[in-house]
Structure 1
């Protein structure tokens, strides 16, 4: 159970709901029924073993959030999935009805176990794939698709000098081809990081600037590029979202374009499927595309 405020609402509720259902419990210290349902919800969060996340919002202290959800009485619980409210209820329901509410929306337990098993599968032979791409580029230097994938593979293992060299023939096309511009953005991030000395100290320096001024977008952008260079891709995109939530067009769209650049670099090749079927999206990439859309279009 996590206490949510306006400051951490985006990360703990909206962002979290992209990968896991989030149940928001609006309560207040003076509310008697709140003291009844609160422990029940905490018990169920433990019993459901990660099938949903419970957060609590003090409606007295966080009136802006309560107003945004149209809270008229407490306790009120709202379930969010993929950044959007999908259902809710008011009052202190008994445990049986709470379970019925949750079971109506949450993925079955066996489905969760299947997802965990998939995550534990061995990763593909990255070195073998890299060698195949290298051979493809050597055989046909004009094959931009193979070159794009080759540069991506090099960036994913932080082999910057080789990535820059392989990217050379694509560089003149970067202004007109988004995927090639994406490679350039990530290369720029890694080059920037290479000039900043010790990685941990460089990030700490930007943290200090951000702590002093949350709207120091230069510091946030620098921090995001440092994180990208460390291949902490999702952390880097989270930082870029902090800029976009405050200024969507900052610095000629630098934050948005770098965010897209990271997505294009980390997105794995689509698996082959039967004719007429649509290959599944990578879950991390799909989640962060939705997060970008929700911020940019809001």
Structure 2
């Protein structure tokens, strides 16, 4: 029997459902199968990356997971010898695979080589409207998708992010509260929580030009430093804010209940572990902590 995790971006597959949920399903949409085990550390590192990609690709592929401890016979039949092993099925056959952990960029390359173009994905219209700044139109489009798949965590977090972009942070917080009640440890839910926390900072300091002027007049003001770091992070300039918060940890650890350390942890959720700057900054944090 197939089990779909509540609010998850994947389907859990057993020996009994493999032919239906993987082989036959791949005739309609590519299926990426993650063979893992609870004791496998690299498997746990890879999982949130695959979950995030499944949500981001918006239906262009289906993510399936096989717990090899529970499905040992299936793993043996398929020749799975190392974990994690990830296999891509398309048109009822295997077309690609990798063993171990790959950088996220390489996983994207593998997927993009075999998947339908982005213009074919159900989230394509949402992304186009979002890029054009038509947040109301994007919300309407994603509403139609949610009507067909109301428990999809990727769609729900995307809807919440659109609320943030449209200035309705309260609506985003309502969605976040619902998601946290069901699956607080999901990587996309954690990412949304980080975005909303930082959006509250932006709401207190919305004018970046004025913020720069205030910082020029008061360069030692830690609250202004923090606000500027948040603006930089959300604008995609990730290295300066990480360095700001590391320096705040060194010199003002007690400021606002260890705000710098907490901000770094939230930033990691937004950036993602696949970016090499995250493990590099984690090591710098560890040296300051210990």
Q: TM > 0.5 between the two?
A: no
- If you compute each CA radius of gyration, which structure gives the higher value, 1 or 2? 1
TM class by shorter chain equals 0.3 to 0.5
The TM-score normalised by the length of structure 1 is 0.40
TM-score by length of 2: 0.41
